[in-house]
């Protein structure tokens, strides 16, 4: 298990009896498909899956930052757009994503040439923590408050989506440049966002510390339900995959068992597992966050400490 540090704060996964937020009703990753009725020619249009990942250049001004995504679309080179998502806000916690990029959504779109990505945000909330470990939660109606200056952003991203491969897009929200404060302690979120295509030759991983149950286990892979997005992806293993000793191998996994996964997206739509560790016994009874007060002995052989949750 690899320990992760975030601005000298320890990222914890605690198994305590309080629920945590999770995205429901996510898109399920699908293979390419053809549909009849091309552009007036009676031909067929080939569709492929686009997967959107999110990472963050974190800001040390805040301990947690939640933002809703209410719409996302790809803009074609001719100016028309293809919707990736539109509806109830899907909430992302950005502060921890500097260390742990995550899969945000996945949708099927026509193979085509695209020029940009359009994203609409809503309802930012955040928590600050002072030197004494005390936290303060800010919303649009609190005092001080956090407000959204620009709801929608167009992100330049020119690429050709072929009919033969799937694509991944890494969205990088620069929280350090997006947040500003005034003399009264009010925060303004004016999103600074970039995007890049994920390549099979990229060194980085697209899933880090993802938690969820496995199913359809074989000796060479398994399906994985990412708890933070509600998306199911297929994971394969190879000679570079490292299993915790408590697991040993892919074939030793049990259907329904929770794991913590680091994996790399591949253009065929599969994910190559790099690290597979045991997950929490229950996904609804754990909290993830930053240690904001040092642990102290409780006099009973244990310790007491506080965390700022980032669920």
Is 14 a member of any domain?
no
What lies within 8 Å, CB to CB, of 37 at 6+ separation is 44, 45
Residues 157 and 273 placed together within one structural domain of the fold: no
Question: What is the CATH classification number for the domain harbouring 271?
Answer: 2.40.50.320
pLDDT value, residue 235: 97
Residues 77 and 121 placed together within one structural domain of the fold: yes
Closest CA to 122 of 158, 85, 96, 159: 85
Residues 260 and 187 placed together within one structural domain of the fold: no
pLDDT value, residue 281: 82
Is 42 a member of any domain?
no
Give the distance, in angstroms, between the CA of residue 216 and the centroid of all CA atoms in the same chain.
23
Is 310 a member of any domain?
no
Q: How far is CA 56 from CA 99, 200, 229, in A?
A: 8, 21, 17
Residues 228 and 183 placed together within one structural domain of the fold: no
**In which band, very low, low, confident or very high, does the pLDDT at 97 lie, cut at 50, 70 and 90?**
confident
Residues 96 and 134 placed together within one structural domain of the fold: yes
Q: How far is CA 96 from CA 64, 73, 204, 274, 311, in A?
A: 8, 25, 16, 20, 9
Domain with 81 in it:
47-197
Is 4 a member of any domain?
no
Q: How far is CA 233 from CA 107, 202, 203, 249, 265, in A?
A: 13, 19, 20, 19, 10
Query: Of the candidates 197, 218, 251, which is a domain's last residue?
Result: 197
The per-residue pLDDT for range 145-167, each reduced to its tens digit, is 999 999 999 999 999 998 888 99
- Tokens standing for residue 135: 């936290």
State the pTM of this model.
Answer: 0.78
Is 27 a member of any domain?
no
Residues 93 and 130 placed together within one structural domain of the fold: yes
The per-residue pLDDT for range 193-204, each reduced to its tens digit, is 999 999 999 888
Residues 57 and 94 placed together within one structural domain of the fold: yes
Residues 216 and 274 placed together within one structural domain of the fold: yes
In this prediction, residues 279-296 reach a mean pLDDT of 64
C-alpha Rg value of the chain to the nearest Å = 21
């Amino acid at each position: 298990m690899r320990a992760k540090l975030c601005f000298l704060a320890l990222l914890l996964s605690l198994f305590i009896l309080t629920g945590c937020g999770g995205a429901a009703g996510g898109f399920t990753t699908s293979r390419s498909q053809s549909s009849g009725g091309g552009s007036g020619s009676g031909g067929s249009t080939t569709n492929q899956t686009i997967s959107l990942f999110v990472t963050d250049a974190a800001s040390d001004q805040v301990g947690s930052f939640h933002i809703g995504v209410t719409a996302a679309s790809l803009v074609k080179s001719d100016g028309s757009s293809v919707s990736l998502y539109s509806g109830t806000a899907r909430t992302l916690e950005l502060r921890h994503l500097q260390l742990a990029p995550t899969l945000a959504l996945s949708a099927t779109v026509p193979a085509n040439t695209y020029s940009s990505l359009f994203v609409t945000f809503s309802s930012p909330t955040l928590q600050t923590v002072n030197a004494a470990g005390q936290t303060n939660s800010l919303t649009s109606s609190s005092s001080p408050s956090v407000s959204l200056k620009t709801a929608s952003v167009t992100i330049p991203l020119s690429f050709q989506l072929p009919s033969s491969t799937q694509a991944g897009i890494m969205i990088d929200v620069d929280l350090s440049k997006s947040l500003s404060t005034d003399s009264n302690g009010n925060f303004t979120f004016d999103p600074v966002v970039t995007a890049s295509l994920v390549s099979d030759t990229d060194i980085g991983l697209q899933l880090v510390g993802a938690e969820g149950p496995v199913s359809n286990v074989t000796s060479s892979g398994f399906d994985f339900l990412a708890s933070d997005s509600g998306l199911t992806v297929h994971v394969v293993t190879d000679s570079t995959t490292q299993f915790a000793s408590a697991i040993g191998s892919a074939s030793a996994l049990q259907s329904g068992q929770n794991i913590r996964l680091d994996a790399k997206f591949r253009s065929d739509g599969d994910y190559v597992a790099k690290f597979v560790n045991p997950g929490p016994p229950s996904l609804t009874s754990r909290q993830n966050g930053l240690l904001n007060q040092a642990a102290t002995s409780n006099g009973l052989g244990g310790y007491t400490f506080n965390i700022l949750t980032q669920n």
